[in-house]
């Protein structure tokens, strides 16, 4: 289990790489302070561990770097309320999925209880999946995953729907560099773009470097440059994809 010092180290590294925001996972099933591995109510020790980890990250990077925190929907509503309240002094960019995605009324209860911005959306689908969440004020920020939520056009519709409620659009993004740049094009085309999730594996994992082809540097100091070429401006390197594909399964042909 990562210690507060690990959180501080990772935060410092990300800052030194030029990133202006960092996201951490707070749900840690192997935390010995949990009531038990399966309990979705956080114990006092577990809450203390969360506060110390994020506190160490905040102290390491100072007040000017944004910090986001994800709980992956693994807790109950009273825990969500407690964590949101306890993390208020850390000035988070957002607290993500403190509870499972389905119950919008429970989200609203947490959002109404705290000054910590509450964020969700990676487990909601199509613009229709966001209508009640937005009209009831259940979240402060939406983060649809455009690979899952309906694609680029639907991503624009979700963003524009959120914009009617003055809610920022911050897409979830766990994909290849092609998926990242496709998402970036949507972000560049909507008025309420806030921030797009980015993956460190683009910079560190040889597979992710090999499987796409693009020209020039596309990220500088946390800002993505979208290509003005036709399409996304990134191609798949099919030979590299075949090299890394699970053997014995058909390729996309």
Task: Pick the piece of the chain touching Mg ion (CB under 5 A) from 51-59, 67-75, 162-170, 242-250.
Answer: 67-75
9 or 23, CB closer to Mg ion?
Answer: 23
Of 41-49, 70-78, 125-133, 198-206: span binding Mg ion (CB under 5 A): 70-78
Q: Structure tokens of 63?
A: 């007040």
Query: Among the candidate windows 69-77, 110-118, 146-154, 156-164, which touches Mg ion by CB under 5 A?
Result: 69-77
Backbone phi, psi, residue 193, to 5°: -60, 130
Part of the chain binding Mg ion (CB under 5 A), chosen from 12-20, 96-104, 160-168, 236-244: 96-104
Nearest-approach distance from CB 122 to Mg ion, in angstroms: 5
Min dist CB 143 to Mg ion, Å, is: 7
Q: Which lies closer to Mg ion via its Cβ, residue 170 or residue 234? A: 170
CB of 172 to Mg ion, least distance (A): 6
Binding of Mg ion by 145 (CB under 5 A): no
219-220 vs 223-224, strand pairing mode: antiparallel
Q: Among 198, 164, 216, 248, which residue's Cα sits nearest to residue 18?
A: 198
- Least distance (Å) between residue 164 CB and Mg ion: 24
Strands (E), the chain: 21-25, 66-70, 94-96, 118-120, 141-142, 212-213, 219-220, 223-224, 235-236
Q: Least distance to Mg ion from the beta carbon of 180, Å? A: 16
Burial zone of 130 (CB within 10 Å; 0-12 exposed, 13-18 middle, 19+ buried): buried
97 Cα distance to chain centroid? 10
Site of tokens 């990250």:
57
For residues 114 and 129, what is the distance between their CA atoms, to the nearest angstrom? 24
- Complex with Mg ion: residue 96 or 212, whichever CB lies closer: 96
Candidate segments 92-100, 180-188, 191-199, 210-218, binder of Mg ion by CB under 5 A: 92-100
CB 97 to Mg ion: min, Å: 5
Judged by CB under 5 A, the residue of 15, 22, 34, 70 near Mg ion is: 70
In order of 199, 200, 218, the CA distances from 215 in angstroms are 19, 19, 8
Site residues for Mg ion per CB under 5 A: 70, 96
């Amino acid at each position: 289990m990562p210690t507060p010092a690990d959180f501080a180290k990772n935060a410092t590294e990300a800052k030194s790489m030029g990133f202006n925001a960092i996201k951490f996972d707070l749900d840690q099933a192997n935390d010995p302070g949990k009531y038990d591995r399966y309990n979705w109510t956080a114990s006092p020790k577990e809450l203390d561990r969360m506060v110390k980890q994020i506190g160490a990250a905040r102290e390491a990077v100072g007040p000017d770097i944004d910090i986001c925190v994800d709980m992956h929907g693994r807790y109950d509503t009273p825990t969500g309320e407690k964590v949101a309240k306890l993390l208020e002094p850390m000035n988070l960019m957002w607290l993500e999925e403190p509870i499972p995605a389905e119950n919008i009324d429970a989200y609203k209860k947490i959002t109404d209880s705290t000054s910590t911005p509450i964020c969700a959306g990676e487990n909601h689908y199509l613009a229709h999946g966001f209508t009640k969440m937005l009209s009831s004020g259940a979240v402060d920020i939406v983060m649809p995953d455009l690979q899952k939520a309906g694609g680029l056009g639907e991503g624009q519709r979700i963003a524009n729907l959120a914009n009617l409620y003055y809610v920022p659009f911050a897409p979830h993004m766990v994909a290849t560099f092609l998926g990242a740049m496709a998402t970036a094009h949507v972000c560049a085309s909507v008025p309420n773009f806030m921030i797009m999730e980015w993956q460190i594996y683009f910079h560190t994992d040889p597979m992710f470097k090999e499987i796409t082809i693009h020209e020039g540097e596309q990220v500088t100091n946390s800002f993505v440059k979208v290509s003005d070429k036709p399409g996304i401006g990134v191609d798949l390197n099919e030979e590299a994809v075949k090299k890394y594909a699970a053997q014995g399964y058909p390729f996309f042909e």
